[in-house]
Amino acid sequence: MTCCEGWTSCNGFSLLVLLLLGVVLNAIPLIVSLVEEDQFSQNPISCFEWWFPGIIGAGLMAIPATTMSLTARKRACCNNRTGMFLSSLFSVITVIGALYCMLISIQALLKGPLMCNSPGNSNANCEFSLKNISDIHPESFNLQWFFNDSCAPPTGFNKPTSNDTMASGWRASGFHFDSEENKHRLIHFSVFLGLLLVGILELLFGLSQIVIGFLGCLCGVSKRRSQIV
């Protein structure tokens, strides 16, 4: 097995783990909503799990490259030039899915859970638009909805500073499952931070497989394997 085949095999196992992790993370808020309300579509934790960043972006779109890469350990399609080229081509789909997962996760972390942005915690307040995903402002990415004692908009005239916000959020009261708001904030933060990391890792593995796939296509695979296949 050449280095190209070996790296492709490792990529396959890594993508498989990330794929499953992305699906599980995306399913957590959906399952919590189902357990709490006995239905998926009412009172969601946020609007962004319904974009399915982990199930579609980090999950389904990574399946072709994962399947192709895993066959590198066997005497199958990745042990020839065409197979290596296909693994590289399918990795482009993985990269697109990873970028989709990352964009949704960043927007979700920017906005916070649904109860922090609207008085009615319902899907009726969700706006599904690609413009919302692309409209990301780094300067507003401060996670105040997480660090504040409450994510409800302030009613006073004095706006807290960012330092006061962080300090108040990490006081002795901390974050516990003592209220629905804290529970939704913890689940929302944990899920989409995890999906962001999954998306970043899938992006790196996908890009590396594109390079390795083209190298394998140009340089070929091991002669011993080619003769066996």
pLDDT band at residue 151 under the 50/70/90 scheme: low
Using CA of residue 92, residue 59, residue 47, residue 193, what is the dihedral sign? negative
Instruction: Write the pLDDT tens digit of every residue in 99-140.
Output: 999 999 998 888 888 777 655 555 555 665 666 655 666 655
Q: Which residue has the tokens 């409800």?
A: 152
List the one residue out of 51, 200, 21, 194 whose CA is nearest residue 109: 194
List the one residue out of 213, 214, 224 whose CA is nearest residue 8: 213
List the one residue out of 178, 23, 15 whose CA is nearest residue 93: 15
Percent of the chain with pLDDT over 90: 29
Residue 226 pLDDT: 45
Neighbours of 52 (CB within 10 A): 20
The DSSP call for residue 198 is: H
Q: How far is CA 28 from each of CA 24, 172, 187, 204, rounded to the nearest angstrom?
A: 6, 27, 8, 25
- Whether 206 has a pLDDT exceeding 70, the answer reads yes
Do residues 9 and 69 make contact, with C-beta atoms less than 8 angstroms apart? Answer: yes
Residue 100 pLDDT: 94
Instruction: Write the pLDDT tens digit of every residue in 7-63.
Output: 777 888 999 999 999 999 999 988 887 777 655 545 567 788 888 999 999 999 999
Task: Tell me whether residue 195 is exposed, middle or buried, using C-beta atoms within 10 angstroms of its C-beta: 0 to 12, 13 to 18, 19 or more.
Answer: buried
Using CA of residue 165, residue 167, residue 172, residue 175, what is the dihedral sign? positive
